[in-house]
Chains A and B, each alone.
Chain A
Amino acid sequence: MGGYILKRLAYAVPVIIGLSIIVFGIMAAIPGSTALAILGSFATPENVERVNRELGLDLPIWQQYFVWVGNILQGDFGHSYILRRPVLDEILERFSATLILAGASLILCSIFGILAGVVSAVRQFGWTDRIVTFFVLIGISTPAFWLGLLFILIFAVQLRVLPASGMYAVYGGGDLPDLLRHLILPAVTLAIVATGVIARLTRAAMLEVLRQDYVRTARAKGLDERKVIYRHAFKAALVSIIPVIGIQAGFVMGGAVYIETVFQWPGIGAMLVNAISTRDIILVQGGVLLVATTYVLINLLTDVAQALLDPRLKT
């Protein structure tokens, strides 16, 4: 197992290098952006040239890349001239908020998605299956940002049971129950689409597995149907469900962009949207690189989890 993990880690390295090249390349495609951002209305051609020289932006592009990567490896993601603070400080602070939100959503959608998918497959064509299928369809067709607004209207404005925005209450609060109260609406909203996707694929995976010969063997042994479904079929289906959850982790982290904006959750998604509006390119660069790298690592984890479950993959 250790060898397998090392091998997968080694495979992730070129992917992360590739990501860094894309992120750097995209941002470098904006001419003079950094200097413009720093100088604002003082951006005369002479000033731009001076700033470029000071920041090493007049070097050949590949040298700039290596300087940039070298700095990042030393923990220096640059300086946001709009927020007037180091990029790393800002993105780490924001990222922890996003991790809480995305993590909670991922747990929700995994539990409910798998549950709904399994029940739906086991009771195929029954009324449970129809209801699940119906909700899945609604779930994957609903704009999450709109659903968030609806939830705010219902639960915060009409029923007044949950807070409409933010991560902690402005006065008082700050403890875990306060965080959880603020977390419920955005986490549920963010989980809805992913729940639908996971439920759909779980149902398909279960139906596929339930026809396999080894499930018939389990029945021929005289096992009761619960064991046949949950021990034999479900474990085999889980092998194909796990990568789906990995992909959904990416969708959830991306979807956080909308949800954080709707609920004013102080995460990295809302930060990116603001940074794009203010043309704070260095901040966008750091944020995108951090989230993308996290996603690569999550995919790595899914692969390992899959190999733990299926001994045939451990080669």
Chain B
Amino acid sequence: MTQALATTSTSVSTARLSSWSLLLNNRLATAGLIILTVIGAIALLAPWLPIPNPNTTLPANRLQPILSDGHLLGTDHLGRDILSRLIWGSRVSIAVGVSATLIAALVGSLIGLVSGYARGTTDNVLMRGIDMIMAFPYILLALAIVAVLGPGLLNALYAIAIVNIPFFARNVRGITVGLASREFVDAARLSGKTHAAILFTEVLPNVLPVIVITMSTTVGWMILETAGLSFLGLGAQPPQADLGSMLGEGRRLLFTAPHVSIIPGLMIFALVMSINLLGDGVRDVLDPRLRAGDLTRPLSVTRVKRKTAPAPVEASDAILDVRGLETSFQRGRATVPAVKGVSFALRKGECMGLIGESGSGKSVTALSLLGLVASPPGVITDGTVAIEGEDVFSRSETGIRALRGAKVAYVFQDPLTTLHPLYRVGEQIAEAITAHQRIGKGEARARAIALMEQVGIRDAKDRVDAYPHEMSGGQRQRIGIAMALANDPDIIIADEPTTALDVTVQAKILDLLQNLRKERGMALLLITHDFGVVAQVCDRVAVMKDGEIVEAGETAELLRAPQHPYTQKLIACVPELGQGKAFLETVRPLFAEGKP
């Protein structure tokens, strides 16, 4: 137990170390940290710096301009040294802003923790209270509180802290609710710990990152808002000054001596800016989702960067001819191939199955054919895809778009996420038509209804105005197929079209695809992990493993005499009805090897 603890603590410290280095890797955050450190150090050292007393008035020396003798930043209307007041004012502003943040963080987090942990009535009462605070426009409540407490720096601090409590309470509660039902909390409860002990020793450490993120993103605001209240004359009262009240006093001299008000404003700006830069950096480091850096915008066509010059397309009877296709993903600086040298051909009217387990590269292969792999991180690194005797990747973007949905259409796996949730299904089908054909809105709609009827949707006239979420899974997939049929394509690429559906619906959708193919003479590339499906519809099949085709051939032959051990395993994995326990016994030895 002690050993386990020791290892976790070292891993925690290395995690911290890497967080620091991550933060310092962020140039903007580093810049923020440096500016903030300089401002903070000067403010802290104010009493020992060789600067005049900020409150010594000398009316004879009033309103000296910047760079005047003995007053680097000039003097204000009472002859006080502005530089000195700026330093002392920053000290007050930072102290007030940070204190307000600490108070808001302490109270807000406590409310969030208790609320999320206790749930029930406590949660309800606390959160409705928080909602009430949030129902006020942000600064208005602060004004109301100052109205009650009376103007003053401390009262402004309380007011700003109170209006910021909800941000902490809500964020912390959100995380706590999730944590409170986790096993380690249950374990702590069973071990007899009190609720308070669980909250502070088990829950709080896991909530800390959220509190830190919220603090780093709100402290800038709080400095700004307390300065604002002082500017209005509701915060710091003379002779005490923070940056806001300096600005407020200087405002009266705006036309005669603008530097008196401009300088403190510039200081607030520098301070808040550096805090925000640092805060963004802290958030990026502590929020794992952003750290992964996967929120990049995918391009309209996958990037093509082939290692070798593409070979000229050879004439063949295939309508789709894939040679040596290699698609890779960029992971940091490394490029990891997901599809390695895949070659296959599809003839007119033929159905070919591409089978493999998840992660075998079959979907990436399918998406690569028309450059639909999300890029970044995807890159086509080698090979050619010939459609109609021309290499797809040598085409322009417009040229590839002209193929998409016209010559080659896709049917995707989960129609709930692949149909647009905010457009009616009829509109989505009609849009597929008008993308490639010049026809009017009315005709497109009529054709959409006809297509819906063809894919077996009853009452197509009524359903055409339905939204995807109003349909069943099977119906949605029929819409997906109708959309694919919109322009009478030569090839349909169906990527696991039945995986998200019930078994009975699966069979119907497969029948539908099969019938349509025969009626219209389309070629079908069917991506699946299920040999049962392949056996039912495919003429030929290619088996993929780890990004490579390991075996290919006529379906019947391959099923009868599979050569590759992986193919044998996949075939064995298709259970037969009533086989029962015997199924497990036949499958088990196939997967026994390689296990400890």
Residues of chain A having any CB pair with chain B under 8 Å: 15, 18-19, 22-23, 26-27, 29-30, 121-122, 124-125, 137-138, 140-147, 149-150, 152-153, 157, 204, 206-208, 210-225, 227-228, 232, 235-236, 239, 249-251, 253-255, 257-258, 261-262, 272-273, 275-277, 281, 284, 288, 291-292, 295-296, 299, 309-312
Contacts and interface: CB of A to CB of B under 8 A. Distances in A.
A213 B137 contact: no
Main secondary structure of the interface of B (DSSP, over half): helix
B402 interface: yes
Contact of B483 (A143, A146, A221, A288): A221
Given A292-B140, A311-B470, 10 more contacts: A138-B273, A142-B269, A145-B228, A214-B419, A214-B421, A273-B233, A288-B143, A291-B140, A311-B467, A312-B467
The 3 closest A-B pairs by CB, nearest first: A146-B265, A254-B139, A222-B404
Contact of A141 (B220, B254, B412, B470): B220
A295 to B, nearest CB: 5
Contact of A145 (B231, B397, B398): B231
B276 interface: yes
B522 interface: no
Most-contacted residue by chain A among B295, B410, B417, B419 (CB, 10 A): B295
Given A221-B483, A291-B140, A273 B232 contact: yes
A146 B431 contact: no
B231 A236 contact: no
Nearest to B433: A221
A124 B412 contact: no
A29 B138 contact: no
A312 B421 contact: yes
A239 B410 contact: no
Contact of A225 (B131, B258, B276, B300): B300
A227 B404 CA distance: 14
Contacts of A261: 231-232
A257 B235 CA distance: 14
User: Which size bracket describes the interface of B in this complex?
Assistant: 35 or more
Interface in B123-148: 128, 131-132, 135-141, 143-148
B102 interface: no
B269 A141 contact: yes
B139 A255 contact: yes
Contacts of A284: 143-144, 147
A276 B151 contact: yes
Nearest to B424: A311
Contacts of A138: 273
Contact of B417 (A214, A250, A272): A214
B432 A221 contact: yes
B140 A217 contact: no
B251 interface: yes
Contacts of B141: 288
A220 B143 contact: no
Given A145-B231, A288-B143, A291-B137, A222 B269 contact: no
B469 A312 contact: yes
16 contacts: A23-B144, A144-B228, A149-B251, A157-B255, A211-B297, A213-B417, A214-B418, A217-B410, A218-B420, A235-B423, A250-B137, A254-B139, A257-B228, A261-B231, A272-B147, A284-B144
Interface of B: 128, 131-132, 135-141, 143-148, 151, 220, 224, 227-228, 231-234, 244, 247, 251, 254-255, 258, 261-262, 264-266, 268-269, 272-273, 276-277, 295-298, 300, 370, 372, 374, 397-398, 401-406, 409-410, 412, 414, 417-423, 431-432, 435-436, 467, 469-470, 483, 486
B135 A213 contact: no
B132 A18 contact: yes
B422 A309 contact: yes
Given A239-B422, A292-B140, A222 B402 contact: yes
A273 B143 contact: yes
Nearest to A276: B147
Nearest to B223: A143
Nearest to A122: B297
Contacts of B261: 146, 149
A291 B276 CA distance: 29
A253 B403 contact: no
A137 B143 CA distance: 26
Contact of B234 (A152, A206, A212, A276): A276
Given A214-B419, A217-B412, A207 B138 contact: no
A261 B230 CA distance: 13
A43 B412 CA distance: 80
B419 A143 contact: no
A292 B137 contact: yes
A232 B144 contact: no
